[in-house]
Structure 1
Amino acid sequence: MTDKTSKVAIVTGASRGIGAAVAERLATDGFTVVINYSANAKSAETLARKIEGKGGRALAVKADVADAGAVRGMFDAAQAAFGGVDVLVNNAGIMTLARIADSDDALFDRQIAVNLKGSFNAMREAGKRLRDGGRIVNFSTSVVGTKLETYGVYAATKSAIETMTAILSKEMRGRNITVNALAPGPTSTDLFLEGKSPELVERMAKMNPLERLGTPEDIAAVVAFLVGPDGGWVNGQVLRANGGMV
């Protein structure tokens, strides 16, 4: 990935939060960015215009990652606009917390559809269509390791993503495509903060020895490493970007 000026990156779930920070960072690093969104068109278009205003190239593309046809269409749009795809950042996801005994079918089915099936849909398409030398970064969560209460279904979807990451990295043999997973700890985003009391947020911020929440920019910096020239020897790994939280 030495010549990033011609590299095209799809970032799913990029209209806000970590995804938006990733898209902006990759654009700053010279990538052409496809900003995927499912509902928030205004934020996605605003981000695309912001990137273009700084001299970058960006395209906002609507696609529900749970829909395999929509994911194919997103790759088609990227290819039509920019000639191909080199990087997939599989960030789109939802998080609904409940004790396993209290989790209803809708909670389970929706998180499986978006987090697991959505990531699979994008991985499958990328496995067929990324140009040689490309990069795939899937998003997991540090809760796979910490196993916090109420995160059972959410963490289960991410644990499956970690397994598929390792297997896909082997299946890309011969194409110089790396596949890694990034597992953030508590990060200051709307997705994380929603429904949590200030006391709970403060307690979770203190769980790591750096004693703060991560920021979207912290996570974007790790993505930038994995898809940039210095990350080329990292493959089939899970990077836990969590400030040292066990």
Structure 2
Amino acid sequence: MQMNEGLRPVTIITGASRGIGAAIAERLAADGHDLVLTYRDRATDAAAVVRACEASGARVLLLRADLADLEQAASVVPAAIAEFSTVTGLVNNAGITGRIGGFLDASIHEAELLFRVNVLAPIVLTQAAIAHMATDRGGAGGCIVNISSGAATSGAPNTYIPYAMSKAAINALTTGTAKEFGPVGVRVNTVSPGTTRTEMHAAAGRPNAPDERAPRIPMRRPGEVHEIAGAVAYLFSADASYTSGADIRVAGGI
């Protein structure tokens, strides 16, 4: 990221009302970022995240956006620029898994929604962010981090294959955009969590999944959200200034 001395980075984080997104928001606020946070329907939780980030000195714009609606997704970057005059970072975090179960039981309607949220919305957001950041378009450069999943490479058999497919698409988004836009000052990377202790598992129908899977993880435990946030924070730091197209796997050894 190429920033003028003394200016605070402005980073968009989607799906920031809970879990990994909330942890990323609080960590980046502590690291000196101003933030644009999106949420869908957890207004009370989102407001609590805003308060925590503001306590670290961050300015925060909170946006309600259902990213399954691509028009709403397309409004996020312009709203951020209108508020802060610039955007220097984007974390494509918002995502849904669909119900846990075998592939033959997967709902095609659920899969269609999943791909809208997990793939099409990140495309829309990334296009808008890069158009603003790219130095050949008058921007100052920037950094994008896509939150993928260890499922992208395991395929998640008997669990949620369509979700795994969507995260494999996110990995491809990172690889392609890192190569295409590296010459114009935009770094793009991926963080791939393994099984992490969040509410997402309950939404997928198996709230105890992290502990059930722990015996099969080399470190014998699920991850915690702050461990994912730490990897994201590294990719936004000066220490990662030559890191682009990378996938940091935070998965306990899997």
TM norm structure 2: 0.90
Deviation string for 1:134-171 (max 9, x for gaps)? 10011111012223322210000010111121001112
SS in 2 for 1:141: coil
Structure 1 residues 5 and 47: CA distance shift in structure 2, 3 A: farther
SS in 1 for 2:189: strand
Letter of the structure 2 residue corresponding to residue 225 of structure 1: Y
TM-fit CA distance, 1:28: 0.2
| Equivalent-residue separation in structure 1 for 2:173 and 2:24 (angstroms) | 22
Match of 1:75 in 2: 77
Structure 1 residues 211 and 5: CA distance shift in structure 2, 3 A: farther
| Equivalent-residue separation in structure 2 for 1:139 and 1:54 (angstroms) | 24
Match of 1:170 in 2: 179
- Residue 134 (str. 1) matches residue 142 (str. 2): yes
- Residue 222 (str. 1) matches residue 250 (str. 2): no
- Residue 148 (str. 1) matches residue 156 (str. 2): yes
SS in 1 for 2:15: coil
Letter of the structure 1 residue corresponding to residue 239 of structure 2: D
Whether contact under 8 Å (1:18, 1:217) holds in the other structure is yes
* Identical-residue share of aligned pairs (%): 35
- Residue 186 (str. 1) matches residue 195 (str. 2): yes
Letter of the structure 2 residue corresponding to residue 16 of structure 1: R
Match of 1:118 in 2: 121
Letter of the structure 1 residue corresponding to residue 160 of structure 2: Y
Letter of the structure 2 residue corresponding to residue 145 of structure 1: T
RMSD between superposed Cα atoms in Å: 1.8
Judge which range, 117-126 or 220-229, deviates more. Answer: 117-126
| Equivalent-residue separation in structure 1 for 2:175 and 2:39 (angstroms) | 26
TM-fit CA distance, 1:208: 2.4
| Equivalent-residue separation in structure 1 for 2:234 and 2:190 (angstroms) | 12
SS in 2 for 1:6: coil
Match of 2:8 in 1: 6
| Equivalent-residue separation in structure 2 for 1:207 and 1:132 (angstroms) | 44
TM norm structure 1: 0.92
**Structure 1 residue runs of 4+, over 6 Å off?**
none
Match of 1:42 in 2: 44
| Equivalent-residue separation in structure 2 for 1:162 and 1:223 (angstroms) | 15
Whether contact under 8 Å (2:153, 2:168) holds in the other structure is no
Structure 2 counterparts to residues 30-109 of structure 1, below 5 A = 30-96=32-98, 97-109=100-112
- Residue 18 (str. 1) matches residue 20 (str. 2): yes
Match of 2:136 in 1: none
Whether contact under 8 Å (2:155, 2:165) holds in the other structure is no
| Equivalent-residue separation in structure 2 for 1:90 and 1:110 (angstroms) | 16
| Equivalent-residue separation in structure 1 for 2:193 and 2:53 (angstroms) | 25
Letter of the structure 2 residue corresponding to residue 18 of structure 1: I
- Residue 212 (str. 1) matches residue 221 (str. 2): yes
TM-fit CA distance, 1:206: 2.5
| Equivalent-residue separation in structure 2 for 1:176 and 1:28 (angstroms) | 25
Q: Tell me the matched-pair count.
A: 244
| Equivalent-residue separation in structure 2 for 1:134 and 1:160 (angstroms) | 22
Whether contact under 8 Å (1:188, 1:214) holds in the other structure is yes
Judge which range, 225-234 or 68-77, deviates more. Answer: 68-77
Question: Structure 1: any 5+ residue segments left out of the alignment?
Answer: none
